[in-house]
Chain A
Protein backbone atom coordinates (compact mmCIF):
# COMPACT_ATOMS: atom_id res chain seq x y z
CA UNK A 1 0.00 0.00 0.00
CA UNK A 2 1.44 3.30 -1.02
CA UNK A 3 1.28 5.93 1.63
CA UNK A 4 1.89 9.44 0.51
CA UNK A 5 3.00 11.59 3.34
CA UNK A 6 3.63 15.26 3.27
CA UNK A 7 5.53 15.44 6.47
CA UNK A 8 7.79 18.42 6.38
CA UNK A 9 11.37 17.26 6.57
CA UNK A 10 13.05 18.85 9.55
CA UNK A 11 16.71 19.31 8.83
CA UNK A 12 19.56 18.97 11.27
CA UNK A 13 21.22 22.29 11.86
CA UNK A 14 24.04 20.90 13.94
CA UNK A 15 25.56 17.48 14.25
CA UNK A 16 28.50 16.91 16.53
CA UNK A 17 30.16 13.56 16.93
CA UNK A 18 32.73 12.33 19.41
CA UNK A 19 33.77 15.81 20.49
CA UNK A 20 36.83 15.72 22.76
CA UNK A 21 38.80 18.59 24.21
CA UNK A 22 41.88 18.11 26.34
CA UNK A 23 43.80 20.91 27.98
CA UNK A 24 47.15 19.29 28.64
CA UNK A 25 46.38 16.19 30.68
CA UNK A 26 42.94 17.42 31.71
CA UNK A 27 39.99 16.26 29.66
CA UNK A 28 37.31 18.96 29.61
CA UNK A 29 34.90 17.16 27.30
CA UNK A 30 35.10 13.50 26.59
CA UNK A 31 33.19 12.32 23.54
CA UNK A 32 30.14 14.54 23.19
CA UNK A 33 27.50 13.74 20.57
CA UNK A 34 24.83 16.32 19.84
CA UNK A 35 22.13 16.79 17.26
CA UNK A 36 20.09 19.96 16.95
CA UNK A 37 17.25 20.23 14.44
CA UNK A 38 15.72 23.36 13.01
CA UNK A 39 13.57 25.14 15.57
CA UNK A 40 14.74 22.97 18.50
CA UNK A 41 14.96 24.41 21.97
CA UNK A 42 17.60 22.38 23.72
CA UNK A 43 19.25 22.70 27.10
CA UNK A 44 22.71 21.52 27.97
CA UNK A 45 22.52 21.03 31.70
CA UNK A 46 25.14 20.17 34.20
CA UNK A 47 27.02 21.31 37.27
CA UNK A 48 29.91 23.75 37.21
CA UNK A 49 32.95 22.23 35.56
CA UNK A 50 30.91 19.61 33.70
CA UNK A 51 32.13 20.88 30.34
CA UNK A 52 29.16 22.99 29.23
CA UNK A 53 31.09 26.11 28.32
CA UNK A 54 33.89 24.16 26.65
CA UNK A 55 31.26 22.35 24.57
CA UNK A 56 29.76 25.65 23.44
CA UNK A 57 33.20 27.08 22.69
CA UNK A 58 34.18 24.01 20.69
CA UNK A 59 30.95 24.26 18.69
CA UNK A 60 31.39 27.97 17.93
CA UNK A 61 35.07 28.18 17.05
CA UNK A 62 36.44 29.70 20.24
CA UNK A 63 38.24 26.50 21.12
CA UNK A 64 39.61 23.88 18.77
CA UNK A 65 38.45 20.39 19.71
CA UNK A 66 41.17 17.77 20.12
CA UNK A 67 39.01 15.18 18.38
CA UNK A 68 35.60 14.87 16.81
CA UNK A 69 33.46 16.21 14.03
CA UNK A 70 31.12 19.19 13.84
CA UNK A 71 28.79 19.82 10.94
CA UNK A 72 26.38 22.67 10.29
CA UNK A 73 23.91 21.72 7.56
CA UNK A 74 26.48 19.19 6.44
CA UNK A 75 29.29 21.77 6.25
CA UNK A 76 32.42 20.60 7.99
CA UNK A 77 32.92 23.27 10.64
CA UNK A 78 36.43 22.32 11.72
CA UNK A 79 37.84 22.14 8.19
CA UNK A 80 35.95 25.03 6.63
CA UNK A 81 34.75 27.25 9.46
CA UNK A 82 33.96 30.28 7.26
CA UNK A 83 30.99 28.69 5.50
CA UNK A 84 29.55 27.27 8.70
CA UNK A 85 30.06 30.37 10.84
CA UNK A 86 27.24 32.28 9.18
CA UNK A 87 24.76 29.76 10.61
CA UNK A 88 25.93 30.45 14.14
CA UNK A 89 24.93 33.13 16.63
CA UNK A 90 26.66 33.22 20.01
CA UNK A 91 25.68 34.80 23.30
CA UNK A 92 28.65 34.24 25.60
CA UNK A 93 28.55 34.08 29.37
CA UNK A 94 29.91 37.60 29.79
CA UNK A 95 28.06 40.37 28.00
CA UNK A 96 30.99 41.12 25.73
CA UNK A 97 29.75 44.34 24.24
CA UNK A 98 32.05 47.29 23.73
CA UNK A 99 31.53 49.63 26.66
CA UNK A 100 32.90 52.64 24.83
CA UNK A 101 30.69 52.21 21.78
CA UNK A 102 27.00 53.04 21.65
CA UNK A 103 24.35 50.36 21.20
CA UNK A 104 24.08 51.32 17.54
CA UNK A 105 27.85 51.17 17.02
CA UNK A 106 28.07 47.78 18.68
CA UNK A 107 25.49 46.42 16.29
CA UNK A 108 27.07 48.20 13.35
CA UNK A 109 30.41 46.54 14.13
CA UNK A 110 28.69 43.17 14.09
CA UNK A 111 27.07 43.96 10.76
CA UNK A 112 30.48 44.70 9.22
CA UNK A 113 32.13 41.62 10.68
CA UNK A 114 29.33 39.44 9.36
CA UNK A 115 29.34 41.07 5.94
CA UNK A 116 25.75 42.24 6.04
CA UNK A 117 25.31 44.28 2.83
CA UNK A 118 25.73 47.98 3.56
CA UNK A 119 22.26 49.14 2.38
CA UNK A 120 20.56 46.64 4.73
CA UNK A 121 22.58 47.44 7.84
CA UNK A 122 20.71 50.45 9.15
CA UNK A 123 17.26 48.91 8.84
CA UNK A 124 18.30 45.66 10.48
CA UNK A 125 19.96 47.47 13.35
CA UNK A 126 16.93 49.67 14.03
CA UNK A 127 14.76 46.57 13.95
CA UNK A 128 17.06 44.79 16.41
CA UNK A 129 17.05 47.71 18.80
CA UNK A 130 13.28 47.71 18.77
CA UNK A 131 13.12 43.94 19.29
CA UNK A 132 15.33 44.38 22.35
CA UNK A 133 13.35 47.38 23.54
CA UNK A 134 16.47 49.52 23.35
CA UNK A 135 15.43 52.01 20.68
CA UNK A 136 15.54 54.88 23.15
CA UNK A 137 19.11 53.98 24.11
CA UNK A 138 20.39 53.76 20.56
CA UNK A 139 23.12 56.38 20.90
CA UNK A 140 24.08 55.85 24.51
CA UNK A 141 27.43 54.36 25.39
CA UNK A 142 26.99 50.80 26.59
CA UNK A 143 28.92 51.51 29.79
CA UNK A 144 25.80 53.33 31.02
CA UNK A 145 23.63 50.22 30.50
CA UNK A 146 22.33 47.94 33.25
CA UNK A 147 23.17 44.23 33.23
CA UNK A 148 19.81 43.34 31.73
CA UNK A 149 20.11 45.91 28.95
CA UNK A 150 23.58 44.66 28.02
CA UNK A 151 22.25 41.12 27.92
CA UNK A 152 19.43 42.13 25.56
CA UNK A 153 21.91 43.94 23.35
CA UNK A 154 24.18 40.89 23.17
CA UNK A 155 21.15 38.77 22.35
CA UNK A 156 19.97 40.84 19.41
CA UNK A 157 23.53 41.34 18.25
CA UNK A 158 23.90 37.56 17.93
CA UNK A 159 20.75 37.52 15.78
CA UNK A 160 21.70 40.34 13.45
CA UNK A 161 23.16 38.13 10.71
CA UNK A 162 20.16 35.79 10.94
CA UNK A 163 21.87 32.62 12.10
CA UNK A 164 20.09 29.27 12.10
CA UNK A 165 21.17 28.35 15.58
CA UNK A 166 21.72 30.47 18.64
CA UNK A 167 24.12 29.38 21.39
CA UNK A 168 23.48 30.83 24.81
CA UNK A 169 25.93 30.19 27.60
CA UNK A 170 24.23 30.85 30.93
CA UNK A 171 22.10 33.64 29.45
CA UNK A 172 20.58 34.72 32.75
CA UNK A 173 23.40 34.23 35.19
CA UNK A 174 23.85 37.11 37.61
CA UNK A 175 20.59 38.85 36.75
CA UNK A 176 17.71 39.74 39.05
CA UNK A 177 14.74 37.34 38.95
CA UNK A 178 12.50 39.89 37.21
CA UNK A 179 15.08 40.60 34.53
CA UNK A 180 15.80 36.89 34.21
CA UNK A 181 12.15 36.33 33.37
CA UNK A 182 12.32 39.12 30.85
CA UNK A 183 15.36 37.56 29.14
CA UNK A 184 13.72 34.12 29.03
CA UNK A 185 10.69 35.65 27.36
CA UNK A 186 12.92 37.25 24.77
CA UNK A 187 14.69 33.94 24.11
CA UNK A 188 11.37 32.16 23.77
CA UNK A 189 10.20 34.83 21.33
CA UNK A 190 13.33 34.34 19.25
CA UNK A 191 12.72 30.62 19.12
CA UNK A 192 9.03 30.90 18.26
CA UNK A 193 8.86 33.97 16.03
CA UNK A 194 12.08 33.48 14.15
CA UNK A 195 12.04 29.69 14.27
CA UNK A 196 15.63 29.71 15.37
CA UNK A 197 17.16 26.65 16.96
CA UNK A 198 18.46 27.31 20.46
CA UNK A 199 21.11 25.51 22.43
CA UNK A 200 21.61 26.88 25.89
CA UNK A 201 23.47 26.02 29.02
CA UNK A 202 22.11 26.97 32.38
CA UNK A 203 22.20 25.88 35.94
CA UNK A 204 18.77 27.38 36.69
CA UNK A 205 17.37 23.93 36.07
CA UNK A 206 13.77 24.76 36.95
CA UNK A 207 13.78 27.46 34.28
CA UNK A 208 15.32 25.14 31.72
CA UNK A 209 12.65 22.59 32.57
CA UNK A 210 9.87 24.98 31.63
CA UNK A 211 11.41 26.13 28.36
CA UNK A 212 13.48 23.37 26.81
CA UNK A 213 11.79 20.82 24.63
CA UNK A 214 14.83 18.59 24.87
CA UNK A 215 17.75 18.37 27.21
CA UNK A 216 21.18 16.85 27.39
CA UNK A 217 22.50 16.24 30.86
CA UNK A 218 26.24 16.46 31.01
CA UNK A 219 28.64 15.54 33.78
CA UNK A 220 32.43 15.15 33.83
CA UNK A 221 32.61 15.95 30.12
CA UNK A 222 30.18 13.23 29.09
CA UNK A 223 26.52 13.25 28.15
CA UNK A 224 24.78 10.94 30.56
CA UNK A 225 21.26 11.18 29.29
CA UNK A 226 19.19 12.99 26.69
CA UNK A 227 15.51 13.40 26.01
CA UNK A 228 12.59 15.74 26.57
CA UNK A 229 12.23 16.93 30.16
CA UNK A 230 8.86 15.11 30.38
CA UNK A 231 10.28 11.80 29.19
CA UNK A 232 13.26 12.08 31.47
CA UNK A 233 10.96 12.69 34.42
CA UNK A 234 8.63 9.86 33.42
CA UNK A 235 11.57 7.49 33.31
CA UNK A 236 12.25 8.39 36.91
CA UNK A 237 8.73 7.51 37.89
CA UNK A 238 6.94 10.80 37.85
CA UNK A 239 6.33 11.13 41.60
CA UNK A 240 8.60 11.54 44.56
CA UNK A 241 7.87 10.73 48.13
CA UNK A 242 10.05 12.77 50.41
CA UNK A 243 10.57 11.08 53.73
CA UNK A 244 11.74 13.43 56.44
CA UNK A 245 14.05 11.43 58.66
CA UNK A 246 15.71 12.98 61.65
CA UNK A 247 18.94 13.96 59.99
CA UNK A 248 18.15 13.87 56.29
CA UNK A 249 15.46 13.68 53.64
CA UNK A 250 15.12 10.45 51.71
CA UNK A 251 13.52 10.39 48.31
CA UNK A 252 11.60 7.48 46.87
CA UNK A 253 10.32 7.44 43.30
CA UNK A 254 6.97 6.10 42.10
CA UNK A 255 5.38 5.82 38.68
CA UNK A 256 1.88 6.69 39.92
CA UNK A 257 0.46 8.90 42.59
CA UNK A 258 -1.51 5.97 44.05
CA UNK A 259 1.63 3.94 44.64
CA UNK A 260 3.20 6.91 46.32
CA UNK A 261 0.12 7.40 48.51
CA UNK A 262 0.09 3.73 49.47
CA UNK A 263 3.69 4.02 50.61
CA UNK A 264 2.92 7.26 52.41
CA UNK A 265 0.28 5.56 54.52
CA UNK A 266 2.62 2.85 55.78
CA UNK A 267 5.50 5.24 56.31
CA UNK A 268 5.99 6.15 59.98
CA UNK A 269 7.74 9.48 59.31
CA UNK A 270 6.62 12.84 58.09
CA UNK A 271 6.23 12.60 54.32
CA UNK A 272 5.46 14.73 51.33
CA UNK A 273 4.49 13.77 47.80
CA UNK A 274 5.52 15.93 44.89
CA UNK A 275 6.09 15.61 41.17
CA UNK A 276 9.50 14.68 39.88
CA UNK A 277 11.60 17.59 38.62
CA UNK A 278 14.50 17.65 36.25
CA UNK A 279 16.64 18.36 39.27
CA UNK A 280 15.70 14.93 40.68
CA UNK A 281 16.71 13.33 37.41
CA UNK A 282 19.96 15.12 37.62
CA UNK A 283 20.72 14.17 41.21
CA UNK A 284 19.78 10.57 40.64
CA UNK A 285 22.09 10.33 37.63
CA UNK A 286 25.08 12.26 38.88
CA UNK A 287 24.77 12.13 42.62
CA UNK A 288 25.18 15.91 42.65
CA UNK A 289 22.94 18.89 43.02
CA UNK A 290 23.10 21.24 40.09
CA UNK A 291 22.28 24.49 41.88
CA UNK A 292 25.34 24.62 44.04
Chain B
Protein backbone atom coordinates (compact mmCIF):
# COMPACT_ATOMS: atom_id res chain seq x y z
CA UNK B 1 0.00 0.00 0.00
CA UNK B 2 0.94 3.64 -0.54
CA UNK B 3 3.70 2.57 -2.88
CA UNK B 4 2.41 5.05 -5.45
CA UNK B 5 2.62 7.91 -2.97
CA UNK B 6 6.07 6.74 -1.86
CA UNK B 7 7.29 6.34 -5.41
CA UNK B 8 6.18 9.79 -6.55
CA UNK B 9 7.71 11.39 -3.47
CA UNK B 10 10.93 9.37 -3.84
CA UNK B 11 11.28 10.65 -7.39
CA UNK B 12 10.54 14.28 -6.62
CA UNK B 13 12.69 14.49 -3.51
CA UNK B 14 15.66 12.82 -5.19
CA UNK B 15 15.47 15.14 -8.14
CA UNK B 16 15.14 18.06 -5.71
CA UNK B 17 18.13 16.86 -3.68
CA UNK B 18 20.38 17.14 -6.72
CA UNK B 19 19.33 20.71 -7.40
CA UNK B 20 18.72 21.73 -3.81
CA UNK B 21 21.45 24.34 -3.59
CA UNK B 22 20.41 26.13 -6.74
CA UNK B 23 16.71 25.90 -5.90
CA UNK B 24 17.03 27.17 -2.35
CA UNK B 25 19.31 30.00 -3.41
CA UNK B 26 16.90 31.04 -6.15
CA UNK B 27 13.84 30.94 -3.91
CA UNK B 28 15.56 32.92 -1.17
CA UNK B 29 16.36 35.93 -3.31
CA UNK B 30 12.98 37.46 -4.14
CA UNK B 31 11.61 37.64 -0.55
CA UNK B 32 14.90 39.20 0.51
CA UNK B 33 14.55 41.88 -2.16
CA UNK B 34 11.03 42.65 -0.99
CA UNK B 35 12.22 42.87 2.58
CA UNK B 36 15.03 45.23 1.73
CA UNK B 37 12.91 47.42 -0.53
CA UNK B 38 9.74 47.62 1.50
CA UNK B 39 10.83 46.49 4.93
CA UNK B 40 13.86 48.72 5.31
CA UNK B 41 12.62 51.25 2.82
CA UNK B 42 9.47 51.99 4.78
CA UNK B 43 10.94 50.78 8.05
CA UNK B 44 8.77 51.37 11.07
CA UNK B 45 7.70 54.81 9.90
CA UNK B 46 4.67 53.24 8.26
CA UNK B 47 2.09 51.32 10.24
CA UNK B 48 -0.56 49.16 8.60
CA UNK B 49 -3.55 47.71 10.44
CA UNK B 50 -1.86 48.71 13.68
CA UNK B 51 1.35 46.80 12.82
CA UNK B 52 4.75 48.13 11.79
CA UNK B 53 4.86 47.62 8.02
CA UNK B 54 7.63 45.03 8.16
CA UNK B 55 5.62 42.94 10.62
CA UNK B 56 2.66 43.24 8.27
CA UNK B 57 4.83 42.37 5.28
CA UNK B 58 6.57 39.21 6.54
CA UNK B 59 3.43 37.06 6.84
CA UNK B 60 2.47 38.30 3.36
CA UNK B 61 5.86 37.23 2.05
CA UNK B 62 5.42 33.83 3.67
CA UNK B 63 2.08 33.44 1.92
CA UNK B 64 3.56 34.61 -1.39
CA UNK B 65 6.79 32.67 -1.26
CA UNK B 66 5.23 29.38 -0.14
CA UNK B 67 2.59 29.80 -2.83
CA UNK B 68 5.31 30.31 -5.43
CA UNK B 69 7.05 27.15 -4.30
CA UNK B 70 3.99 24.91 -3.86
CA UNK B 71 2.32 26.07 -7.02
CA UNK B 72 5.71 26.03 -8.72
CA UNK B 73 5.63 22.25 -9.00
CA UNK B 74 3.37 22.93 -11.99
CA UNK B 75 6.41 23.94 -14.03
CA UNK B 76 8.36 20.87 -12.94
CA UNK B 77 5.39 18.63 -13.72
CA UNK B 78 5.15 20.26 -17.08
CA UNK B 79 8.73 19.42 -17.94
CA UNK B 80 8.27 15.93 -16.54
CA UNK B 81 5.19 15.46 -18.64
CA UNK B 82 5.97 17.11 -21.96
CA UNK B 83 9.76 16.99 -22.29
CA UNK B 84 10.89 13.84 -20.58
CA UNK B 85 7.63 11.89 -20.48
CA UNK B 86 8.58 10.62 -17.04
CA UNK B 87 4.99 11.17 -15.96
CA UNK B 88 4.02 8.19 -18.14
CA UNK B 89 5.91 5.97 -15.69
CA UNK B 90 3.40 6.97 -13.03
CA UNK B 91 0.44 6.41 -15.34
CA UNK B 92 1.61 2.98 -16.45
CA UNK B 93 2.34 1.75 -12.92
CA UNK B 94 -0.38 0.00 -10.93
CA UNK B 95 -0.98 3.00 -8.67
CA UNK B 96 -4.07 5.15 -8.26
CA UNK B 97 -4.43 8.75 -9.35
CA UNK B 98 -5.16 9.69 -5.74
CA UNK B 99 -1.66 8.53 -4.82
CA UNK B 100 -0.10 10.51 -7.66
CA UNK B 101 -1.92 13.68 -6.58
CA UNK B 102 -1.07 13.18 -2.91
CA UNK B 103 2.57 12.43 -3.69
CA UNK B 104 2.98 15.52 -5.86
CA UNK B 105 1.05 17.63 -3.34
CA UNK B 106 3.30 16.44 -0.52
CA UNK B 107 6.30 17.51 -2.58
CA UNK B 108 4.73 20.92 -3.20
CA UNK B 109 4.01 21.29 0.51
CA UNK B 110 7.58 20.35 1.32
CA UNK B 111 8.87 23.08 -0.96
CA UNK B 112 6.40 25.59 0.45
CA UNK B 113 7.44 24.81 4.01
CA UNK B 114 11.09 25.12 3.11
CA UNK B 115 10.59 28.65 1.81
CA UNK B 116 8.54 29.43 4.93
CA UNK B 117 11.46 28.37 7.11
CA UNK B 118 13.70 30.61 5.07
CA UNK B 119 11.55 33.67 5.73
CA UNK B 120 11.43 32.80 9.41
CA UNK B 121 15.19 33.03 9.29
CA UNK B 122 14.90 36.46 7.65
CA UNK B 123 12.46 37.58 10.32
CA UNK B 124 15.15 36.94 12.90
CA UNK B 125 17.66 39.00 10.92
CA UNK B 126 15.12 41.81 10.58
CA UNK B 127 14.22 41.27 14.28
CA UNK B 128 10.52 40.84 13.71
CA UNK B 129 8.80 38.78 16.42
CA UNK B 130 6.32 36.22 15.19
CA UNK B 131 4.01 33.83 17.03
CA UNK B 132 4.38 30.34 15.63
CA UNK B 133 1.60 28.21 17.03
CA UNK B 134 -0.46 25.20 15.97
CA UNK B 135 -3.00 27.39 14.17
CA UNK B 136 -0.20 28.73 11.99
CA UNK B 137 0.78 25.18 11.03
CA UNK B 138 -2.80 24.29 10.21
CA UNK B 139 -2.99 27.39 8.03
CA UNK B 140 0.29 26.90 6.19
CA UNK B 141 -0.38 23.20 5.55
CA UNK B 142 -3.80 23.97 4.10
CA UNK B 143 -2.36 26.87 2.13
CA UNK B 144 0.49 24.87 0.57
CA UNK B 145 -1.77 21.88 -0.12
CA UNK B 146 -4.30 24.02 -1.90
CA UNK B 147 -1.75 25.71 -4.13
CA UNK B 148 0.13 22.49 -4.84
CA UNK B 149 -3.09 20.82 -6.01
CA UNK B 150 -3.92 23.92 -8.07
CA UNK B 151 -0.47 23.57 -9.63
CA UNK B 152 -1.10 19.90 -10.47
CA UNK B 153 -4.46 20.80 -12.00
CA UNK B 154 -2.97 23.49 -14.22
CA UNK B 155 0.02 21.35 -15.25
CA UNK B 156 -2.32 18.57 -16.38
CA UNK B 157 -4.69 20.88 -18.24
CA UNK B 158 -2.25 22.96 -20.28
CA UNK B 159 -1.04 21.76 -23.64
CA UNK B 160 2.46 23.19 -23.43
CA UNK B 161 4.83 25.57 -21.65
CA UNK B 162 3.31 28.58 -23.39
CA UNK B 163 -0.09 27.89 -21.86
CA UNK B 164 1.55 27.55 -18.50
CA UNK B 165 3.23 30.94 -18.81
CA UNK B 166 -0.10 32.50 -19.81
CA UNK B 167 -1.77 31.16 -16.67
CA UNK B 168 1.05 32.56 -14.57
CA UNK B 169 0.86 35.99 -16.19
CA UNK B 170 -2.90 36.39 -16.06
CA UNK B 171 -3.85 34.51 -12.91
CA UNK B 172 -1.01 33.82 -10.52
CA UNK B 173 0.96 37.07 -10.66
CA UNK B 174 -2.11 39.36 -10.32
CA UNK B 175 -3.34 37.19 -7.47
CA UNK B 176 -0.01 37.51 -5.65
CA UNK B 177 -0.14 41.30 -5.89
CA UNK B 178 -3.82 41.83 -5.13
CA UNK B 179 -4.51 39.36 -2.35
CA UNK B 180 -3.34 41.40 0.59
CA UNK B 181 0.23 40.19 0.61
CA UNK B 182 1.66 43.75 0.43
CA UNK B 183 -1.26 45.93 1.51
CA UNK B 184 -4.58 45.37 3.28
CA UNK B 185 -7.29 44.48 0.77
CA UNK B 186 -9.91 46.40 2.73
CA UNK B 187 -8.40 49.59 1.30
CA UNK B 188 -9.46 48.51 -2.19
CA UNK B 189 -12.55 49.92 -3.95
CA UNK B 190 -15.67 47.76 -3.52
CA UNK B 191 -15.52 46.19 -7.01
CA UNK B 192 -11.95 44.99 -6.49
CA UNK B 193 -12.79 43.75 -3.03
CA UNK B 194 -15.32 41.33 -4.50
CA UNK B 195 -12.72 40.13 -6.93
CA UNK B 196 -9.95 39.59 -4.41
CA UNK B 197 -12.23 37.80 -1.97
CA UNK B 198 -12.92 35.28 -4.71
CA UNK B 199 -9.20 34.45 -4.76
CA UNK B 200 -7.97 31.78 -2.35
CA UNK B 201 -4.76 33.66 -1.55
CA UNK B 202 -6.71 36.51 0.07
CA UNK B 203 -8.11 34.14 2.67
CA UNK B 204 -4.90 32.30 3.35
CA UNK B 205 -2.90 35.55 3.66
CA UNK B 206 -5.40 36.85 6.21
CA UNK B 207 -5.32 33.63 8.21
CA UNK B 208 -1.53 33.29 8.06
CA UNK B 209 -1.05 36.92 9.07
CA UNK B 210 -3.52 36.65 11.96
CA UNK B 211 -1.86 33.51 13.34
CA UNK B 212 1.65 34.97 13.11
CA UNK B 213 0.91 38.39 14.55
CA UNK B 214 -1.32 37.20 17.38
CA UNK B 215 -4.52 38.54 15.85
CA UNK B 216 -7.93 36.85 15.74
CA UNK B 217 -8.25 34.11 13.17
CA UNK B 218 -11.45 34.32 11.18
CA UNK B 219 -12.60 30.71 11.13
CA UNK B 220 -14.75 31.33 8.08
CA UNK B 221 -11.60 32.09 6.09
CA UNK B 222 -9.94 28.91 7.29
CA UNK B 223 -13.04 27.01 6.31
CA UNK B 224 -12.97 28.61 2.87
CA UNK B 225 -9.32 27.59 2.48
CA UNK B 226 -10.26 24.02 3.31
CA UNK B 227 -13.01 24.29 0.72
CA UNK B 228 -10.56 25.49 -1.93
CA UNK B 229 -8.15 22.72 -0.96
CA UNK B 230 -10.84 20.06 -1.36
CA UNK B 231 -11.96 21.55 -4.66
CA UNK B 232 -8.44 21.69 -6.14
CA UNK B 233 -7.72 18.16 -4.97
CA UNK B 234 -10.75 17.03 -6.99
CA UNK B 235 -9.84 19.12 -10.03
CA UNK B 236 -6.31 17.65 -9.91
CA UNK B 237 -7.76 14.13 -9.95
CA UNK B 238 -10.09 15.04 -12.77
CA UNK B 239 -7.28 16.66 -14.74
CA UNK B 240 -5.07 13.56 -14.48
CA UNK B 241 -7.93 11.37 -15.63
CA UNK B 242 -8.33 13.73 -18.57
CA UNK B 243 -4.68 13.22 -19.57
CA UNK B 244 -5.53 9.59 -20.30
CA UNK B 245 -8.22 10.94 -22.64
Show the binding face of A for B, using Cβ within 8 Å: 23, 60-64, 81-83, 85-86, 88, 90, 92, 94, 96-101, 105, 108-110, 112-115, 141
Contacts and interface: CB of A to CB of B under 8 A. Distances in A.
Contacts of A82: 94, 96
A143 to B, nearest CB: 10
A217 to B, nearest CB: 26
A110 to B, nearest CB: 7
A113 B88 contact: no
A1 to B, nearest CB: 48
A113 B15 contact: no
Interface in B76-133: 84-86, 88-96
Contacts of A97: 84, 86
Interface stretch (B1-9, B143-151, B179-187): B1-9
29 contacts: A23-B245, A62-B88, A64-B244, A64-B245, A81-B94, A88-B92, A90-B92, A92-B85, A94-B84, A96-B84, A96-B89, A98-B15, A98-B84, A98-B86, A99-B84, A100-B19, A109-B10, A109-B11, A109-B14, A110-B89, A110-B93, A112-B6, A112-B7, A113-B3, A113-B89, A113-B90, A113-B94, A114-B94, A141-B18
Contact of A62 (B14, B15, B18, B244): B244
A21 to B, nearest CB: 8
A115 B85 contact: no
Interface residues of B, number: 24
A92 B122 CA distance: 47
Given A23-B245, A100-B18, A62 B6 contact: no
Nearest to B93: A113
4 closest A-B pairs by CB:
A96-B85, A113-B93, A85-B94, A112-B7
B19 A113 contact: no
A88 B96 CA distance: 16
B93 A114 contact: yes
Interface in B167-219: none
B93 A85 contact: yes
B7 A105 contact: no
Given A92-B85, A94-B84, 12 more contacts: A64-B244, A85-B94, A98-B15, A98-B84, A101-B15, A101-B18, A108-B10, A109-B10, A109-B14, A112-B3, A113-B89, A141-B18
